């Protein structure tokens, strides 16, 4: 894992991201049966457990890909202060995050364009619609 840039602020853990999946009736019935039999507290508990088990099974592959792609694992937050420091240093960021990348509301589209060369997020990007629109050509 690449070192975290010292001038980037940390933020509190964000709320979970919601996803929607489609399941067949038989699969859903089997899930409900396992919940009813007490194996899981509810459908969400079973689905989270199944996902975590799959992620653990493929953990080595994930770690190798993170290293190979030089991704930051977890939450990466960019405030206007952070980006102004990058700009003052005459640098451009190549943001690569596996998890959550957030761009604060105090960042203007102009500042984002002046400091973010590329943006790759595997997970979620939280930014204003104006920032997302400005960076649209740089998001991979």
- Can you spell out the DSSP letters for 23-77? --HHHHHHHHHHHHTTSSSSHHHHHHHHHHHHHHHTHHHHHHHHHHHTPEEEEEE
The pLDDT tens digits for 19-45 are 999 999 999 999 999 999 999 999 999
Confidence of residue 65 (pLDDT cuts 50, 70, 90): confident
Evaluate if residue 110 carries a pLDDT over 50. Answer: yes
The pLDDT tens digits for 7-21 are 455 555 667 888 999
Is 117 in a helix, a strand, or coil? strand
**For residue 7, is it left (φ>0), alpha (ψ between -120 and 50) or beta?**
alpha
The pLDDT tens digits for 38-54 are 999 999 999 999 999 99
């Amino acid at each position: 894992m690449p070192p975290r840039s010292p001038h980037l602020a940390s933020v509190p853990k964000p709320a979970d991201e919601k996803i929607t999946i489609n399941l067949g009736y038989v699969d859903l019935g089997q899930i409900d049966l396992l919940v009813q039999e007490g194996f899981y507290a509810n459908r969400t508990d079973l689905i989270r457990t199944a996902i975590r088990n799959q992620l653990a099974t493929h953990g080595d592959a994930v770690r190798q890909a993170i290293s190979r792609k030089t991704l930051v694992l977890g939450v990466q937050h960019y405030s206007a202060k952070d980006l102004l420091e990058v700009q003052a240093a005459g640098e451009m960021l190549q943001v690569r995050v596996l998890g959550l990348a957030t761009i604060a509301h105090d960042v203007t589209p102009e500042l984002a364009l002046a400091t973010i060369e590329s943006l790759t997020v595997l997970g979620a990007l939280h930014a204003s619609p104006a920032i997302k629109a400005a960076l649209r050509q740089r998001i991979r």
